[in-house]
Amino acid sequence: MNKDRLLSLDVFRGLTIAAMILVNDPGSWSYVYSPLLHAEWHGCTPTDLIFPFFLFMVGMAVSIGMPKTGEARKQITRKILKRSLYLVLIGLFLNAFPSFEFASLRIPGVLQRIAMVFLVIALMHHYMSHRAQIIIGSSLLIGYWIIMTFVPVPGIGEANLESDTNFAAWFDRLFLTDHMWSMSKTWDPEGLLSTLPAIGTGLLGIVTGQLLFRTEEKLHGLAKVFVLGNLLIMAGLIWDMFFPINKSLWTSSFVLYTGGVAMNFFGVLYWLLDVLRYRSKLTFPFEVFGSNAITAYALSGILASLFGIIPLGNSSIHQVLYDGLVDIFDDYYFASFIYALGFVVLCYLPVLLLYRRNIFIKV
């Protein structure tokens, strides 16, 4: 079967990017519907699924779009390193924009974690057997659990999972100092140590691609994906009793649970769009978003920053628009949601223009 273009993967990627923009850009952070917020600490909301979904798709893209044969290993390695570097640089630019205060520049970030996960899993995909990948991925999850729940935290005491005093937070402070998330400065949700289990999320995407395309029989591979996905959800919920599901810590239970949900979600899209060949105008906007996902994400970050600093009257563009929506709807929460929805549409229009002109910007 032809693996070169998977509509379900484009739509899945587009849905995820649209959701990421939606939850990142409310009219007011004081008025956000609870499903559009991350869990306060332990637990998993729909918003907490977005980032692992994207890392899962990175793994699928590696499995489907980067075959092990046909290119010299040096050339493949060069491409992987180049893509990873570009993602890191774009991520650092978005973190620095618009102030460019490098003394307090946040080094970690969404694109930086994507880059690191892509780098590791792409190299593993090309240089290691499937068995070795599974062994290493499992070892990362078990090792991270041991570190976080059994290893004492230097200068603090017993192992714990509190936001400021866990081992990952200590590790981030040790190496990142003043270059962490500005909302905490004592830990980073895309920190260094928690990137290790995130590699497991990417590897689950590779496993999904292998299950689907090892056989010519689509439904046989799809059935395996659904079975494994549900087993992972159950395993994640069981592990949650000992190592709580937590997006900020990217706990091992979080990897299994969200990986299982991602498999099921993608499996449904694959069945509808690539097996049944279902087509709908409803999927087209997400196909457009998915075709230029990184462009849409970067554009949303730049526009959000500009809307917050460009003055309009006695306030900013962002505040004036939100206040206007509050006046129209007389509901702070709904106005905040409509602002976010409008922002998604605003980011969609330039990406649609690129799509119409067959321009696909890739790193």
- Position 362 in a domain: no
pLDDT tens column, 246-285: 999 999 999 999 999 999 999 999 999 999 998 888 899 9
Q: Would the pLDDT of 65 be above 90?
A: no
Tens-digit pLDDT profile for residues 171-226: 999 998 888 877 766 889 999 999 999 999 999 999 999 998 876 677 889 999 99
More confident position, 320 or 71: 320
The closest alpha carbon to 110, from 203, 23, 208, belongs to 23
pLDDT score at 1: 38
Report pLDDT for 68: 66
* Residue 363 forms part of a structural domain: no
Amino acid at 335: A
Structure-token pair, residue 61: 């893209």
Q: Residue 94 is part of which domain span?
A: 7-356
> Does the residue 361 lie in any domain?
no
Whether residue 3 has pLDDT greater than 50:
no
CB burial of 7-37 (b: ≥16 within 10 Å; e: otherwise) equals: bbbbbbbbbbbbbbbbbbbbbbeebbeeebe
Do the Cβ atoms of 231 and 260 come closer than 8 Å?
A: yes
Average pLDDT, the chain: 93
Asked whether residue 91 is assigned to any structural domain, the reply reads yes
Per-residue pLDDT for 4 more than 60? no
| C-alpha of 75 from chain center | 27
Answer whether residue 1 is part of any domain: no
Q: Which is more confidently placed, 45 or 280?
A: 45
pLDDT value of position 66: 76
State residue 69's pLDDT score. 62
Q: List, for residues 116-144, the tens digit of each pLDDT value.
A: 999 999 999 999 999 999 999 999 999 99
**Res 51 pLDDT > 90:** yes
Domain count, the chain: 1
Is residue 24 in some structural domain? Answer: yes
